[in-house]
Amino acid sequence: MSRMKFPRALRFMALLPLLFLGGCSTEHFWLLNPKGPISAAELHYMILDVSIMLVIIIPTTLMVIWFLLRYRAKAKAAYDPTWSHSNILEVIVWGVPILIVAVLGYYSYVGIHEVNPYNPTILAKHTQANADPLEVDVITTDWQWLFIYPKQHIASANELVIPTHTKVDFRLTSTSVTNGFFIPQLVGQIYIMPGMRTKQSLLAEHEGVYHGFSAALSGGGFSWMQFKTKAVSQSQFQDWVAKAQQSATHMTYADFEKFARPTVNIGQKTTYFSAVQPGIFEDVIKAARMGKVYPTPNALTENMQSEEFLKHSN
């Protein structure tokens, strides 16, 4: 291969990685494809923070490279060994970082209030002043999700259904270990802890099915802690509520205790419950504080062919 052809071949080889980007899109990059105001705000501030930090990183990197090249031993660049101070340099070295920290502090303050789980101010811009939010109680077990709609007296296992353009207020707790409630395209993560109640709010602007999961390691069945979030129109949501209210499967607290037993949840089976007993959420918190546990048989997560595994499959 000639000297002229070799560099040209290298240039073509350098372009090959671009072919792999041809099939890429933001569809599966959940954080980069927000579908609600909270997730959009989080992406906005993430990009803003990174951009501001690049104001430091890029010039510093370029200056390091420039100094290495200019003042290397063979370059023989002129320098003043008696130099010790520069007012201009002092202003740059101290002023720029202070300014950047101040800007980051300001946007951090504004951003925290906009997406605060207990009172996200950004949702006020996207909802009507007199509109009632949808209330949903979230309970995690080993290893299932239960979504209770108190006012509708229904519940759904491993599937969250919400209407678009409606604020949804969550109360969250766990029967056993800590989990993390996370729907990247709609809202950031918040911990779900036994014996405690945390809160979260979101709003979906677009219809679709979004991926939700636990972002906190929760034992052998951690990979099963996933659920679908279906954002539907208001009329479709009402139809779904009516369908769930016709379910032959009811839920009292005694039924919940059976549901809360460690379960193999590989397929994230969806079950709807009607006539849900009021106060289950509060009873779960009280039971956890009193030391209620749901023991996990060792064979349940150690051997997928064991009788325990098959017996606890949903």
pLDDT tens digits, 118-134: 999 999 888 876 789 99
Percent of the chain with pLDDT over 90: 63
**pLDDT per position as a tens digit, 194-207:** 999 999 999 999 99
What domains does the chain contain, in order, with CATH numbers?
A: 128-292 (2.60.40.420)
Quick one: pLDDT band at residue 209, thresholds 50, 70, 90? very high
pLDDT: which is higher, 223 or 282: 282
Estimate the crossing angle of helix 37-70 against helix 87-114, to 10 degrees: 160
Query: 222: closest CA among 230, 214, 232, 233?
Result: 214
Question: Distance from first CA to last CA of the chain, Å, rounded?
Answer: 64
pLDDT of residue 18: 53
Q: How far apart are CA 222 and CA 180, in angstroms?
A: 11
- Region of poorest pLDDT, from 112-116, 150-154, 291-295: 291-295
Q: β-strands 271-276, 250-251: how paired?
A: parallel
Q: How far apart are CA 160 and CA 144, in angstroms?
A: 12
Asked if the peptide bond before residue 143 counts as cis, ω within 30 degrees of 0, the response is yes
pLDDT of residue 3: 47
Q: How far apart are CA 1 and CA 13, in angstroms?
A: 15
pLDDT of residue 247: 95
235 pLDDT more than 90 = yes
Over residues 226-235, the mean pLDDT reads 96
pTM value is 0.81
**pLDDT per position as a tens digit, 101-110:** 999 999 999 9
Looking from the CA of 214 toward its CB, the CA atoms found within 13 Å total: 30
